[in-house]
Structure 1
Amino acid sequence: MTRQDFRAAVEADDRFAVTWELIPGRGSHEPQQEEVFEDAETAASGDVVDAVSLTDNPGGTPALSADYLGMKLKERGIEPLVHFTTKDKNRNQIEGLLHALEREDIHNILIMSGDHQGPAFEGQAKAVYDLDPVQTLDFVSDLNDGFEFEDNFGRHNELAETDFFPGAVVSPFKRLEAELMPQYWKLEMKVEKGAEFIIPQVGFDARKFHELIKFIDEKDLDVPVIGNLYVLDPGSARAMNENRIPGAIVTDDLREEVEAEQEGEDPHQAMLERAAKMYAFMKGMGFAGVHIGGHAADYDDVEYIVERGEELAPDWEEYVSEFDFPMEDGFYYYERDPETGLNADEHAILPENPSTGLKYKGFKVAHELMFEPDGPLFGPMRWFSKKVDDSALEEPFTTFERVTKTISNDCQECGNCALFDMAYLCPMSQCPKNERNGPCGGSYDGWCEVYPGEQECIYVRAYRKLKADGGLEKAREKLRDTYIPPPDYDLEGTSSWLNYYLGRDYAGKRVGNEVADD
Structure 2
Amino acid sequence: FNNILALTGDYPVTGYGGLARPVFDLDSVSLIAMLKAMNDGLEVQRPNGKMERLPKTDFYIGAAVSPFKRYERELMPQYFKLARKIHCGAQWVIPQLGYDMRKFYEIKLFLQWAQLPANLPVIGNVYLLNKTVAGLFNKNKIPGCVVSDALYALCEKYAAGPDKGKAFFVELAAKQLAVFKGLGFAAGYLGGIHKADGFFQVIEKAESFGANDWKEFAKEIQFPKPGEFYLFEADPATGLGDITRLNPEYKAALQKAPSVGYRLTRKVHEVAFTPGQGMFPTLQKVYEKLEQKGDNLALKALYAIERVSKEMAFGCKDCGDCSLPETAYLCPRKACSKTGRNGPCGGSADGRCELQDKDCLWARAYDRLKYYGEAEHMLDGPAVFYNASLEGTSSWANLFRGRDHHAKKEK
Both proteins in one fold, TM over 0.5? yes
- Tell me what 2:319 maps to: 414
Matched, 1:333 2:243: no
Could you tell me whether the CA contact under 8 Å between 1:373 and 1:511 is conserved in 2? no
Deviations along 1:95-114, one digit per CA (max 9) or x if unpaired, are: xxxxxxxxxxx111211011
Could you tell me whether the CA contact under 8 Å between 2:88 and 2:382 is conserved in 1? no
Q: CA deviation at 1:377?
A: 2.6
5+ residue gaps, structure 1, are 1-105, 513-518
Larger deviation, residues 169-178 vs 377-386:
377-386
Q: Percent identity?
A: 39
Q: Which amino acid aligns with 1:464?
A: D
Residues 127 and 184 of structure 1, relative CA distance in 2, 3 Å threshold: same
- Tell me what 1:311 maps to: 208
- Tell me what 1:108 maps to: 3
Q: CA deviation at 1:257?
A: 0.3
TM-score, normalisation: structure 1? 0.74
Which of 140, 143, 153 does residue 35 from structure 2 map onto?
Answer: 140
Q: CA deviation at 1:216?
A: 1.9
Larger deviation, residues 421-430 vs 270-279:
421-430
Deviations along 1:204-259, one digit per CA (max 9) or x if unpaired, are: 01111111122123333231011110111101111111111111111111000011
Query: For 1:433 and 1:354, how far apart are their aligned partners in 2?
Result: 28
Matched, 1:256 2:153: yes
Q: CA deviation at 1:313?
A: 6.0
5+ residue gaps, structure 2, are none
Matched, 1:457 2:356: no
Could you tell me whether the CA contact under 8 Å between 1:166 and 1:197 is conserved in 2? yes
Query: For 1:216 and 1:304, how far apart are their aligned partners in 2?
Result: 33
Matched, 1:292 2:190: yes
Deviations along 1:30-86, one digit per CA (max 9) or x if unpaired, are: xxxxxxxxxxxxxxxxxxxxxxxxxxxxxxxxxxxxxxxxxxxxxxxxxxxxxxxxx
Deviations along 1:174-229, one digit per CA (max 9) or x if unpaired, are: 11111111101111111111112111001001111111122123333231011110
Deviations along 1:241-297, one digit per CA (max 9) or x if unpaired, are: 111111111111100001100233532111101110011011111111111112x65
Could you tell me whether the CA contact under 8 Å between 2:97 and 2:144 is conserved in 1? yes
Residues 118 and 150 of structure 1, relative CA distance in 2, 3 Å threshold: same
TM-score, normalisation: structure 2? 0.93
Could you tell me whether the CA contact under 8 Å between 1:421 and 1:482 is conserved in 2? no
Residues 313 and 500 of structure 1, relative CA distance in 2, 3 Å threshold: farther
Residues 230 and 370 of structure 1, relative CA distance in 2, 3 Å threshold: same
Could you tell me whether the CA contact under 8 Å between 1:386 and 1:502 is conserved in 2? yes
Which of 180, 204, 214 does residue 282 from structure 1 map onto?
Answer: 180
- Tell me what 1:125 maps to: 20
- Tell me what 1:321 maps to: 219
Could you tell me whether the CA contact under 8 Å between 2:84 and 2:381 is conserved in 1? no
Could you tell me whether the CA contact under 8 Å between 1:284 and 1:313 is conserved in 2? no
- Tell me what 2:390 maps to: 491
Q: Which amino acid aligns with 1:253?
A: A
Which of 119, 131, 137 does residue 234 from structure 1 map onto?
Answer: 131
Q: CA deviation at 1:363?
A: 0.4
Matched, 1:424 2:329: yes
Equivalent position SS for 1:326: coil
Q: Which amino acid aligns with 1:368?
A: E
Query: For 1:167 and 1:374, how far apart are their aligned partners in 2?
Result: 37
Which of 109, 118, 121 does residue 224 from structure 1 map onto?
Answer: 121
Q: Which amino acid aligns with 1:362?
A: L
Q: CA deviation at 1:509?
A: 5.3
Matched, 1:380 2:282: yes
Equivalent position SS for 2:312: helix
Which of 305, 309, 319 does residue 400 from structure 1 map onto?
Answer: 305
- Tell me what 2:369 maps to: 466
Task: Name which structure has the greater RCO, CA cutoff 8 Å, separation 6+.
Answer: 2
Q: Which amino acid aligns with 2:132?
A: G
Alignment of structure 1 residues 338-349 onto 2, 5 Å: 338-345=236-243, 346-349=245-248
Equivalent position SS for 1:344: strand
Residues 443 and 300 of structure 1, relative CA distance in 2, 3 Å threshold: same
